[in-house]
A and B are shown apart, each in its own frame.
Chain A
């Protein structure tokens, strides 16, 4: 069984350490806007949680690539971009329905979470263990509860005249 990133939204404090670590190791910048993991700071919904590629089974980015620049690193079960093959057509950014495949302005090629080759910096750096790198065969099993909470809390906030 391969390891995956499991998110524990209840533990996330929205401190953004993972974004800084990710942008540094992946793009050499300290800029959350360049991070491949994004912390959702939903204050009105009282919910914080990081969000990145789930290494989904369909791999929409991989199948759509016209030059087969995206493959699977079988050792870690991650869908990875070979940037020397990528022509920068943006089709994978367009096709990924999770919104987790980017194009970096530095090289104009595709970039996505590659689990840092099996040592994800985001998980290492998270001070509260909200990002756990562990063996798991249920892609994103934590997702439903979190979505539900965001929806419910949003509705409550809106009804109370707060929120949006």
Chain B
């Protein structure tokens, strides 16, 4: 009989797992249960900014799931898991049996415990519904004022999205902006003045005791330093928690997330977990970590999918990394950017908004921060090369000293130390990747050549 796979969730873990299972096993039965439509959360800011329509965030539709031969239960929730009986129970009371289960339930923003969070116009900003709700609140207002409480990764991303809309913004950060979970102190020291220059009002080192309704539809956000801010909408993004409710008391082992091995298996060999809900092998850490980022979700989904389909592959570990566009100032952070014990090399030109920090343990790079104006940063080979050095865990030997003297010449060290060579032929699942099936416009990408190309070739 065909293997029965059940997948809980509709984010990048779930969709990548489905596609990967199909790469290895056409006959397996696959059931996907997700309370939301399949989409990429990280595309939501581009919908909010007005750049793309809501549908652009979707990663599957009925037709594509049918094509993948998936029994999709969109709009339904899994209420409980019975690991010993190998069943899940859904919100309609039905019970489904599985051979393999993947828990890909993601994460949610932490709740702010203050009065006023239940007022209309005061909200989180994490899901499709949240994004719609903010757009509805703001609808018809000329230059709405929005207060963002929080300075974490998602808060920064959403601030940039709202900035692109031309909204008036105030950010309230407990510490630095962006927070230490996103960037080191030196990097934040450039982002803060840049944002202020762009007209974003920053309140760093402040907390919010309460939010009240002004009576005319606007909200009043009160700060502990006595300042009050009046706004059309208030967004709260003050931390992340893994969606592990389903797992409590089930016998599936947890710490900050569901603990998984390098095949994404929990303590039950036929129950897998991945993405924001999972705590798994991580590079530059001696213990499992939750890396609640999109690249880790993709990797986890693909590794879990392959293993569920009976194709044994092992994950070397996730690499913490992020890129932020802070209203035109770009920051890239990798690895352990706040490792207090690491040896550091730093260069900073605050006037030009350029900053670089490399963190070392002996001759091993363990983290990096790169900051610069977005228009310059995008055309550098350095960003990816730093990622390559960290991903391959290449010890740089003599090149460490070279980088101390030439911090902008990453390419020479990268090539000399043989990083690219190690990456050639490397794959995550043991075979060449294929693109996922679903695209917003359905068009298969083909290489585009410019008119300039034709003219140029004509001269040859």
The chain A residues found within 8 Å of chain B, CB to CB, are: 21, 24-26, 28, 33-34, 38, 40, 42, 45, 51, 54, 56-59, 62-64, 66-73, 75-76, 78, 80-85, 87-91, 93-105, 108, 114-119, 121, 124-125, 139-140, 143-144, 146-148, 150-151, 154-155, 158, 164
Tell me if B450 and A25 are in contact (CB < 8 A).
Answer: yes
Given contacts A80-B445, A94-B323, A101-B384, contact A87 B411 (CB under 8 A): no
Q: Which of B385, B431, B432 sits near A98, CB closer than 8 Å?
A: B385
Residue B177 lies at the interface, judged by CB distance under 8 Å to chain A: no
Interface residues of B in 403-453 (CB under 8 A from A): 405-406, 411-412, 414-421, 423-428, 431-436, 438-441, 443-450, 452-453
Q: For residue A52, which residue of chain B has the nearest CB?
A: B381
**A residues less than 8 Å from B52 (CB atoms):** 87
Complex CA gap A71/B69 in Å reads: 22
Residue B43 lies at the interface, judged by CB distance under 8 Å to chain A: yes
Q: For residue A113, which residue of chain B has the nearest CB?
A: B447
12 more contacts with CB within 8 A, not counting A25-B452, A66-B40, A71-B445, are: A64-B295, A64-B298, A69-B445, A78-B447, A82-B443, A89-B42, A94-B322, A98-B420, A105-B374, A105-B379, A108-B374, A115-B447
Tell me if A85 and B441 are in contact (CB < 8 A).
Answer: yes
Tell me if A67 and B56 are in contact (CB < 8 A).
Answer: yes
Residue B332 lies at the interface, judged by CB distance under 8 Å to chain A: yes
The chain B residues found within 8 Å of chain A, CB to CB, are: 12, 16, 40, 42-43, 46, 51-52, 56-57, 59, 294-295, 298, 302, 321-323, 325, 330, 332, 374-385, 387-388, 391-392, 398-399, 401-402, 405-406, 411-412, 414-421, 423-428, 431-436, 438-441, 443-450, 452-453, 456-457, 460
Complex CA gap A148/B391 in Å reads: 20
Q: For residue B431, which residue of chain A has the nearest CB?
A: A57
Given contacts A26-B450, A40-B412, A94-B332, contact A105 B441 (CB under 8 A): no
Query: How far does the Cβ of B193 sit from chain A's closest Cβ, in whole Å?
Result: 22
Tell me if B449 and A94 are in contact (CB < 8 A).
Answer: no
Can you report 25 residue pairs joining A to B where beta carbons are below 8 Å apart? A24-B452, A33-B379, A45-B416, A62-B433, A63-B16, A64-B294, A68-B435, A68-B436, A68-B439, A69-B445, A80-B446, A82-B443, A85-B441, A87-B46, A87-B52, A94-B323, A95-B387, A98-B388, A99-B380, A99-B381, A99-B383, A116-B449, A117-B448, A124-B460, A164-B402
Given contacts A62-B435, A63-B298, contact A57 B425 (CB under 8 A): yes
Tell me if A121 and B457 are in contact (CB < 8 A).
Answer: yes
Q: For residue A35, which residue of chain B has the nearest CB?
A: B379
Number of A-B contacts (CB under 8 A): 242
**B residues less than 8 Å from A71 (CB atoms):** 435, 439, 444-445
Complex CA gap A100/B384 in Å reads: 7
Complex CA gap A89/B157 in Å reads: 10
**B residues less than 8 Å from A154 (CB atoms):** 398-399, 402, 412, 416
Q: For residue A89, which residue of chain B has the nearest CB?
A: B42
Tell me if B445 and A82 are in contact (CB < 8 A).
Answer: yes
Query: How far does the Cβ of B162 sit from chain A's closest Cβ, in whole Å?
Result: 16
Tell me if A143 and B424 are in contact (CB < 8 A).
Answer: yes
Tell me if A139 and B440 are in contact (CB < 8 A).
Answer: no
Tell me if B447 and A76 are in contact (CB < 8 A).
Answer: yes
Tell me if B378 and A90 are in contact (CB < 8 A).
Answer: yes
Tell me if A151 and B456 are in contact (CB < 8 A).
Answer: no
Q: For residue B460, which residue of chain A has the nearest CB?
A: A124
Complex CA gap A125/B459 in Å reads: 10
Complex CA gap A139/B420 in Å reads: 11
**B residues less than 8 Å from A76 (CB atoms):** 447
Q: For residue A44, which residue of chain B has the nearest CB?
A: B412
Complex CA gap A133/B439 in Å reads: 31
**A residues less than 8 Å from B423 (CB atoms):** 56, 97-98
Q: Which of A59, A88, A124 sits near B457, CB closer than 8 Å?
A: A124
Tell me if A73 and B445 are in contact (CB < 8 A).
Answer: yes
Complex CA gap A43/B411 in Å reads: 14
Tell me if A67 and B57 are in contact (CB < 8 A).
Answer: yes
Q: Which of A21, A70, A96, A121 sits near B435, CB closer than 8 Å?
A: A70
Complex CA gap A51/B424 in Å reads: 14
Tell me if A143 and B420 are in contact (CB < 8 A).
Answer: yes
